[in-house]
Each structure stands twice: as structure tokens, then as C-alpha cells.
Amino acid sequence: MENGFKDERKMEPPSGFSPHKVDPGKPAPLTWQRKLNCKGTLPSEFALTFQEKMHMAPIGIRLLRHAKEEAAKGRMAIFDFFSKRTIAGHHGVPLGGIGAGSIGRNYTGGFQRFQLFPKLSEESPILANQFSVFVSRPNGGKFSTVLCTESPEVPKKGTASGIETWDWNLNGGKCTYHALFPRAWTTYEGEPDPELTIVSRQISPFIPHNYKESSFPVSVFTFTVSNKGRTSADVTLVFTWANSVGGVSGFSGQHFNSKMVTANEQAPVTFAIAAEETDGVHVSECPCFLISGDSQGITAKDMWHEIKKHGSFDHLDHNETPMPSKPGSSIGAAIAASLTIPSDSIRTVTFSLSWDCPELRFSHNTYHRRYTRFYGTHGDAAASIARDAILEHAHWESQIEAWQRPILEDKRLPEWYPITLFNELYYLNSGGTMWTDGSLPMQSLGTIGKRKFFLDNTRSNITNTVDMSHQNDTAVDILERMASKLDQMHTPVTSNSAFGTYLLQNGEENIGQFLYLEGTEYLMYNTYDVHFYSSFALLMLFPKLELSIQRDFAAAVMMHDPERMKIMNDGMWVPRKVLGSVPHDIGLNDPWSEVNAYNLFNTDTWKDLNSKFVLQVYRDMVATGDKNFARAVWPSVFVAMAYMDQFDKDGDGMIENEGFPDQTYDAWSVKGVSAYSGGLWVAALQAASAMACEVGDKAAANHFWVKYQKAKAVYDTLWNGSYFNYDNSGGSSSASIQADQLAGQWYTRACGLSPIVDEDKIRSTLEKIYNYNVLKVKEGMRGAVNGMLPDGRVDLSAMQSREIWSGVTYSVAATMIQEEMVEMAFQTAVGVYETAWSQEGLGYSFQTPEGWNTNDQYRALCYMRPLAIWAMQWALTKPELSKPELRHEVSEDNGYSTHHAGYEKVAHLLKLPKDESAKSLLQIIYEYTCKRL
């Protein structure tokens, strides 16, 4: 850990600074609010019915066995069965930019949910990480408190010398937390001094369309202190930080308060805490104090009493030479900012927190984070990042204010909507997000095996991509040579991975590659069927990152990985990924190289992924106008469409589902022509035709247009007079009213394409969904339930049919907005706000789950799909699209026949081999019994 610095220079406005200065002591006009003494609702987890337990038992047993096998190899499974999760209901705005690690902050003042390494999230708070305030008046009045309503347990035995000796006496009833991501404010009215008002403003560099500062691992805290008393007040604000990355890491020993080396072979981390020293603010530091244990040095109690006695650390006698902590001991550091505030005056104090963890380690591959392009890869930049943040954060806030203000001031919107719109963005910070510098991974020299190589002894062909003036650093020299050699030797390996950077054209910027988890409980990166919903947030705010994800999946379409993986549903072994299929996810233990971490079903046979790929790529093309992107990914679009031909069993142009959960609703079976997958397929055919026009493939444009017309006619057969049936199989759910049945229509309208069904049918369907799926559940205050029977009962045929998915509810509302049914849209979406974000809700704020059931039990906290609220914003703003001119020659002439024959050959070569394995008699009997139950 690197401690605070003193910046003796006068602060100069950075170049390009906006003249609009934001008052850090004034919260935004609309915010999510809680009193600090609000206990919050503890979320209740879902429970399976007896029938669901019977049905899922074999999968559960195989998953548990698989998880144990993976753990034995030092790998993680997609569900973590072995880590005990800490569930809380008082989360707040997290810290940091995008993809550089995240540290959570709850509204009571605590720091928790440490996500500094891939796949890992330490949920429990570290109570030594605190802001505290000390006040002294000329009349002898003294006040002090930790600015947090949580407190540590007092030890039953021995003499207390740890943080339990601090003054944990904040009256939370007088304090209010305000959240509007990426900022948060806490107002302390008369706490701890009745004549002081303190406002703490927290800000992180989440700045739309900014691809530099938005990658920085840092947050800035500005305290605005108002003295309403008749006398001056001597005030000291203290920031303490433990040398820990969460969990038990702080007690592992051998920690220096200079640089931290983590346990379990994780990458090194350096923290820095800093304060700005100005004419009226004096900064002092305590480089190391003992939080707990028996290491030598100043204790937490000593540190606290030093400030109470002197108001600073200037008289503190500390060892200049850092000593390592002992195992079982935990150490921290503190920085203090002291100032005198005259009567009826206001002063500000600014702190910052940064961390430097430059490496992302997966299997044998090591990547560097995006911010290292600006601060280097040596892990020694935390102090520089903290310092620069103090200098630049006012400029960041000006840009954030300019982005948010028009939406906050739009009187057409209900107040809850902009608050929820911005706060749902928390997931782009704390959803296990990682953003690389775009370079190929560094690989261990040990992975080269017996191949002969020579480490070049010259430097003429080596370029240091980071201007950090390390010309005389031998280690840097050797590392550069190793990197150059590894790049040469591993090119055949990396070119067989899903690295979309290969699709960049000459001169195009490599913005890096982006990862985020499906959920903190569902460990898969960039889960594509879910990204279909959440991608509107990235497209509107960071479109270059959205295009980067699509390039990766375009590369993955062209990838074939014959490595066998076991499917949990039936125990069969299948190839990890076949040519032409869109992977479910980009991987977990070795992203981009080992895709499809998901193994519940064989997603090569899913019916929604390829259609979603085509629709997203087309939408992103018309949204950005990026023609290079369109040309680069078009071959993957063509192959993805051809791959799907094998699922059109009767040649009528429409794909059919195959009687198992072969789409994003992976616990809700569907068979035959379906409203969800079928609608996506019809929309994808139209999008593929339009994209073919854009790239100049006239024959393909005509081919897909002809297929679109045929599939559209088949899709219309699902219409029953008021909505589209779930499927045409005649099963128990066939007539179910699916909330998500117009997903294909939603995307066609979002892309500027023609409707795939008649306008009156769209409106009728949306009215049916609203009147049944929305209004018949908890008086319309929970969102849209996935399945509702025509008689008004919730469809209980599957776990997911009886769930309400927050992201799907948002997407249904977006569809309503597109059809000018705006009031109905907000009445639909408000159920998610009431459930997840309101004070009377279920405690899901800043951890919105995938969904909840009608018993108010959640499944999968902290999930990707709720970012779909930005699809509502997309529909409201109606962005200008760069649509191609569509000219279709629909006659099936010789040219069409020639192209069709070629297309059929491609489709035939992509066809999956028939499954020759027969189910055992025992398995057949078991499945029959489950169906009867």
C-alpha cells in the first residue's frame, strides 16, 4: 500500500475544462436515497418445487461432481458451490471506472464487495476502511466518530487495541445517502458536531464515450464542511485503509505498506490513499498501524488517540522502514487532512483512493488492463493515479453532469425512471468487469514445451507501447524481448481463439477487449443470449466496447474446437464449439481461447444465439455507421445464418425448437415453431438481407429476403386472435402468454427494420401482456411474469415460466415505447423499480437479480440482464440510424438459384452429425416419471 501524498502546487484547471463547475456539496436533483440507520431488506432466495427438484436432480448431481473436478484442477465451474456468500441489502454506488477492478461501497459507509481479480468477489466489508471526523472547538467542545453506522465486535477477552476502540457513534437517523451512479453523496446533518453539516461526495470516472479515464481504477471523495456555529471549528478528516483485498487476505502475512503481494497466485496489487493539501488544508500521514494481531508498531487505538490529542499525525513517531506483517496480523495506513473552518464558513477537503492491479491472469494467459496503456504495467502507478484523479476529477464531474442533466430534467419522465436508469449502470463496474489493453496475452515460457527458440539480443525491432521512460530498466528490456518472442511463437495458437482484434482493418483503433460476467453467481463471461438485452447500455455509452464484443463473437463463429466437454443435462460428451454456431459465452477459465463455459445443455443446438448475433451486429452497424465493422463481420453473419438451416426440418423457412430448453429460457422447454425463437429468426432473416445490401452481396440479400417472406408467413400461424402462442406443439405451455414473445419485433423496430407482424397484432399482444402478465401479479407492482395462462393463472409448468425477469420486463417496456404505448411501458417497468429499488421493496438495490418469483424470492443476484433498461432509453431517444438502402429482387431466377445452391452447400457442410447415442431405459423411465409429476 502506498500512502498519501502532499501536493504543494496550486491546482490549475486541466485543459479543455468546461466552464460549468459542479458544486460537490449539492446532490443531484434526483437520487436514490436512504437514511444511514435504515436496516434494509435482506433478500430471500428462491426455492424449487418438489417437481422441479425431481426434474433437476440429475443435473444438480452432475454439476456438483463437475465443480469438484474443476476445483481439483485449480479451475472454477460456472456455479460456485463451495464459497459461502454474504448476502446484504444495503449496497450502494461502487468505486472505480470500468474493467480495472471494483470495490463496493454500501450506504452505511462501509467498503465491501472487492472484485479485484477475475471470477472472485469478496462480499464482506472491511471495517477498518473508513472515513472519520474529529472536531475541536475553542470552548473545549470535542466530537469524533467514524462516518459509518456499522461497527466491529468488541473482543470478550484481552485488552482492546484494534478498531473496536474507535468512536463508532454516528447517528444514522440524521444522515442521508444519495446515489446516482457514478456519483454518491452522504449528508451528515449535525453529526458529530451539532453545528456542522458535512456532505461527502464520491465520484468515479465513468464517462460515456471516454475510453481513457473511464478505465482508471480510482475514486475521489470530496467533503464539503459547513460551520454554522458562532465559533471556529478545527476539523480533521481521516481516511484509513487496510492492506487487504477482501476476505482473509489481510491476515496472510508478509504485507508491506509499500506494495502488497496477494495470496493464491493472484496478481500483485498496490493501493494508494491520498489527500489534497492546499493553503488551508494540512495533510499528515500514518504509514502503518496494526489493525489486529501481534505485529510490532502503532496500534489502531494509538493512531486514533493521536488524532484526538493532536488533530494530526505530525507528532507520530513511526518507523520509516516498512516491516512486513506477521501471519494472522492485519495492518493498515491512514491519512489525515486538518483545517480550521471559521464561523458561518464552508471549506472542502478532497481524498482519493486508487489501486493498481495491472494483470489479468487466466490459465496460462496473462493480459494487461486497459489503463496500463496510460500508466504502465509495473504495478507501481497507484500513487500517480490517485494524484491525477484529485487534479482531474472536477473535469470528470462536469462531463458526467452534462450527460445526466438533460435526462434528469426531462419532465415527461416519472421520477423513478432516470434514477433507476443511471443506477442500473453499476453492473458495468461491479459485474466482474474486465477491460484489456487489446494486446495478445503474455504466456508462460513453460507453455512453449520443447520448441527451440532464441531470445533476440537486439532492441531495434522492439517498441515499448507505454511511454514510461524505462530505457535503462533491464527487467523491462527482457520482458519486452520475451513478449516479442512469445507473440511470434504463439501466433498459430492465438489465431485459433476468439480474438476479434484480428478483424480490425488497417488504421482502426484497438480499443481493447471487454469482459463482464453473466452474474456474480453465474460465472460466464459475455453470456451472449443475455448480452442481447443488456447491450443497449454499452451501445449508447461506450459503442467501441460494444463493437469489440461483437468482433470477438464474429471470430468465435468461425472457430471450431473439438475438445470434448460433458453436458450436465444428459451426461453426453460433445465438442466444445462447432463451426458456425455462436457460443453461449466467451469462456470462464480461459476466455477467448476456451469458449462455452456453459455446460447445462449443448448450446450448439440452441435456436436463439445465432439469430441474436445477426440482430446485434446489424443494430450496431446502423447505430454506429461503421462500414468497416460491417464488412469485417459479414462472413460470420453469413455462416451463422447458414448454420441455422439444419433446424428448419420441413423446409418452410422457419426453424423449429426441439422439445428441450434450447434458448435463453433454459429451464422452460419449447417445441416446434415458437413465438420467441421463431420471432428472432424472422427478424434475423430481414436483418441479414439488409446487411447483405450494405456490404454489396446482392445475391445473399435476395436469398435472405425470400426466406424472410416464407418464415414470416409461418410465424403468423402462431397468432390466436389476441397474442402469439408460446409454441405450436399442443403442450401444456403452448397457449401460454409469454412476456417475451415479441423479442424479434422489439429488435426489428430498434434497428429501423420493417415490422415482422401486423401493427394491430403488435398492439393487441402488448395489451394482453400488460393486462395478464403485469396486472395480474401483485397488482402490477412486480413486473411482467414470464408465463401466464389464458385463464389468468401464472404458468407453473417450469421454474422460469413462473419467474419475473427484470431485464425482460424492461425490454417489454421498450417494445411498448416503440409502439407509442409510453404510459403502459412505464406502468410495466415501475414494477421492477418497486421490487428492486424502492425502500418498500425486496432489498435488490445495486444487486438487481435475474428475476424473482411470485413468492418474492430472488434468483441470481447482481445480474447482467437488468441493463436492458437502456433499451427503454434507446426507444425514447429514437437515435438516428445509418440504414442501408434496401432493393430486393424477389424473383427466384437463375441467379437466385445459383446462390441458393451455394448457400445450401455451406449449410450442408455446417450440419451437425446425427446423435447416434440412445438414451438408457432407466433415463427414459425417469424422464417419463418427471413429466407425469
Task: Tell me the pLDDT tens digit for each residue of 456-475.
Answer: 555 444 444 444 444 555 55
Quote the pLDDT of residue 247. Answer: 53
Quote the pLDDT of residue 252. Answer: 43
Give residue-wise pLDDT tens across range 785-841.
999 999 999 999 999 999 999 999 999 999 999 999 999 999 999 999 999 999 999
Residue carrying C-alpha cell 411498448: 816
Quote the pLDDT of residue 221. Answer: 98
**Type of residue at 121:** S
Give residue-wise pLDDT tens across range 198-224.
999 999 999 999 999 999 999 999 999
Answer positive or negative: Cα dihedral of 237, 241, 246, 252.
negative
**Type of residue at 708:** Y
**DSSP characters over 463-525:** --SS-S--TT-HHHHHHHHHHHHHHHHHHHHHTTS--GGGGPPTT------EE-BSBSSS--B
User: Average pLDDT of 313-320?
Assistant: 80
Secondary structure in 3-state letters for 841-898? CCCCCCCCCCEEECCCCEECCCECHHHHHHHHHHHHHCCCCCCCCCCCCCCCCHHHHH
Residue 620 to residues 398, 691, 870: CA-CA distances in angstroms? 28, 11, 15
Residue carrying C-alpha cell 486541466: 14
Answer for the pair 524, 584: CB distance below 8 angstroms, yes or no: yes
Question: Is a pLDDT exceeding 90 seen at residue 594?
Answer: yes
Alpha carbons 851 and 915: distance in angstroms, whole number: 34
Quote the pLDDT of residue 468. Answer: 43
Alpha carbons 709 and 578: distance in angstroms, whole number: 29
Question: Is a pLDDT exceeding 70 seen at residue 147?
Answer: yes
Q: How many CB atoms lie within 10 A of CB 792?
A: 11
Answer for the pair 829, 869: CB distance below 8 angstroms, yes or no: yes
Alpha carbons 462 and 465: distance in angstroms, whole number: 9
Residue 349 pairs in a beta bridge with 223
Residues 540, 544, 545: CA angle, nearest 5 degrees: 85
User: Average pLDDT of 842-864?
Assistant: 97
All three cell numbers of 687: 436483418
DSSP-assigned letter for residue 724: B
Quote the pLDDT of residue 780. Answer: 97
Ordered alpha helix ranges (H), 33-127: 50-72
Question: Is a pLDDT exceeding 60 seen at residue 16?
Answer: no
Alpha carbons 440 and 438: distance in angstroms, whole number: 7
% helix, strand, coil for the chain, step of 5 = 35, 20, 45
Answer for the pair 464, 470: CB distance below 8 angstroms, yes or no: yes
All three cell numbers of 856: 418474492
Residue 112: phi and psi, rounded to 5, are -150, -175
Answer positive or negative: Cα dihedral of 190, 192, 193, 194.
positive
Residues found in the chain: 933
User: Average pLDDT of 276-293?
Assistant: 93
Question: Is a pLDDT exceeding 50 seen at residue 13?
Answer: no
Tell me the Ramachandran region of residue 674: left when phi exceeds 0, alpha when psi lies from -120 to 50, beta otherwise. Answer: beta
Task: Give the CA dihedral 198, 202, 208, 213, nearest 10 degrees.
Answer: 130
Give residue-wise pLDDT tens across range 723-748.
999 999 999 899 999 999 999 999 99
Strands 434-435 and 270-275: unpaired
Q: How many CB atoms lie within 10 A of CB 582?
A: 28
Answer for the pair 131, 170: CB distance below 8 angstroms, yes or no: no
Mean pLDDT of the chain: 89
Alpha carbons 723 and 720: distance in angstroms, whole number: 6
DSSP-assigned letter for residue 836: I
DSSP-assigned letter for residue 172: G
Q: Which of 417, 345, 355 is nearest to 94 (CA)?
A: 355
Residues 874, 878, 880: CA angle, nearest 5 degrees: 115
DSSP-assigned letter for residue 247: T
- C-alpha neighbours within 13 Å on the C-beta side of residue 329: 23
Answer for the pair 51, 930: CB distance below 8 angstroms, yes or no: yes
Quote the pLDDT of residue 463. Answer: 44
Quote the pLDDT of residue 4. Answer: 37
Residue 356 pairs in a beta bridge with 270
**DSSP characters over 787-824:** EE-TTS-B--SSTTTTEEEHHHHHHHHHHHHHTT-HHH
Radius of gyration over every alpha carbon of the chain, rounded to an integer in angstroms: 29
Strands 218-227 and 196-203: antiparallel
Quote the pLDDT of residue 451. Answer: 59
Give residue-wise pLDDT tens across range 466-524.
444 445 555 555 556 666 666 665 555 556 789 999 999 888 999 999 999 999 999 99
Please, what is the end-to-end C-alpha distance for the chain in angstroms?
A: 59
Give residue-wise pLDDT tens across range 376-426.
999 999 999 999 999 999 999 999 999 999 999 999 999 999 999 999 999
